[in-house]
Amino acid sequence: MARPARSRRGAMDRIVVEGGARLEGQVAASGSKNATLALMTAALLADGETVLRNVPRVRDVDVMLDLLAALGAPARWDDEEPAVVRILGGRVSRPEAPYDLVRRMRASFMVLGPLVARYGCGRVSEPGGCAIGVRPVDQHLRGLEALGAKVARDGGYVEMSARRLRGARFRFDVTTVNGTQNVMMAATLAEGETVLENAALEPEVVELARVLRAMGADIEGEGTSTLRIRGVEGLRPVDHTASGDRIEAGTLLVAGAITGGEVEVTGVEPRRLGATLDRLRETGAELRVGPDRVAIRAPERPRGIRVVTAPFPGFATDMQAQIMALLCVAEGASVVTETVFENRFMHVPELRRMGAEIALAGRSAHVRGVPRLSGAPVMATDLRASASLILAGLAAEGETRVNRVYHIDRGYERIEAKLAGLGARIRRESG
């Protein structure tokens, strides 16, 4: 049977977890959602067909395919080969990213840089805030303006135009992943040299820079806070295999840790997990790493630790909700400080419903570990909070029902199948 063209998941599906199973075995991480989304927008810079492999079947990728198609760049899943996406750049007929797509996925805003660089204009709905914060795009706009783009805003849309972008020196006030990617992509076709300072160091920025170079861009400095880009006349399409998803891998390792289990995650380079491995070791877990895998052997009960989120190579904010679930059942107290987003503790009230003892004080959550959580019906509010609730359910006494699980389908491919494959008692129920 042909694989579904898109993740056919009901909007009101729920995931039901029967806690208590010790997870054991090996599981493969899917391709990186966040790397893929940026690479899909990069395809707009080149004429011809860009092929991306190891693409995760997640809702955000489907939305990006819809967006590229709406711009006039045919983009689709390959019918024969799984996890392959084909995008025909160079044929944009309508450089406008409509509100109803951008509001569903803010990464859509990253089409702006490629559109202005390659087509001289772009009109993108301003992404509103989201559950985890206001998430302004001022750095994206200031960076593109520095390259000579003219900005107009009307009716919730940002319009940018430039006969041809000109290289410039620009310093980000804030370290921003998608902001760095947006401006870097635009600079590849600008006239002259661009120097971007205080650029983000995330692996997804490094991967995008390397793919842009393979497309013919003249870029150096990726992985450092200063990028140097010399504009070229044009870029060619590539065939690229996306790296493994470091956040999904971290989430699966926490699933092993929270059940006192032994889990090996393949398909991801350990160094991309940054400080996550260090924090897991501090909780008392034993980790073994290989070139493309990480294995965890967890103690019966983790120890409490201090976690502070930070841009890469610091502890990833996208792993904060997940490690908090682990610390809820730790021996002793923990403090989790979220420094990147201003409202990323929505999982806390839901974890409390499961018996967690967490006190919030400003940007920090003070967690007092309890021996066992108890299963309960809980509500998912955003992608990583949903993952945190499923993890807590794995370790809870009884049944946990995580509602509104469409949040998790945005960024995790078949999470319940992967966890069941490790011995979890977990199932999806249609809404």
Nearest to 117 by CA among 86, 89, 82: 89
Distance from C-alpha of 232 to C-alpha of 230, rounded to nearest angstrom: 7
Find the binding residues for ligand EPZ in span 53-82 (CB under 6 A): none
* DSSP string covering 217-280: -EEE-TTSSEEEEE--S-B---EEEPPB-HHHHHHHHHHHHHTT-EEEEESS-GGGGTHHHHHH
Among 52, 294, 383, 408, binds ligand EPZ (CB under 6 A): 383
Query: What mask, x for binding ligand EPZ by CB under 6 A, covers residues 302 to 321?
Result: ---------------xx---
CA dihedral 243, 144, 100, 235 (to 10 degrees): -50
> Which is the catalytic residue, given 130, 333, 335, 420?
130
Query: What mask, x for binding ligand EPZ by CB under 6 A, covers residues 9 to 48?
Result: -------------------------x--x-----------
**φ, ψ at 323 (rounded to 5°):** -70, -25
Range in contact with ligand EPZ (rule: CB under 6 A) among 63-71, 85-93, 138-146, 186-194: 138-146
381 binds ligand EPZ (CB under 6 A): no
Range in contact with ligand EPZ (rule: CB under 6 A) among 173-181, 263-271, 325-333, 417-425: 173-181
259 binds ligand EPZ (CB under 6 A): no
Find the binding residues for ligand EPZ in span 392-431 (CB under 6 A): 411
Nearer to ligand EPZ, 86 or 407 (CB): 407
User: Is 130 a known active-site residue?
Assistant: yes
Among 6, 22, 104, 135, binds ligand EPZ (CB under 6 A): 135
Neighbouring residues of 173: CB distance < 8 A, sequence distance ≥ 6: 139, 142, 198
Task: Check residue 297 and give left, alpha or beta (phi > 0: left; psi -120 to 50: alpha).
Answer: beta
Find the binding residues for ligand EPZ in span 193-232 (CB under 6 A): 204
Nearest to 396 by CA among 430, 429, 367, 371: 371
Burial class (CB in 10 A: 0-12, 13-18, 19+), 291: exposed
Range in contact with ligand EPZ (rule: CB under 6 A) among 50-58, 177-185, 216-224, 346-354: 177-185
261 binds ligand EPZ (CB under 6 A): no
Distance from C-alpha of 430 to C-alpha of 222, rounded to nearest angstrom: 44
> What are the residues binding ligand EPZ (CB under 6 A)?
34, 37, 107, 133, 135-140, 174, 176-179, 204, 317-318, 340-341, 383-384, 411
Q: Which residues are catalytic?
A: 130
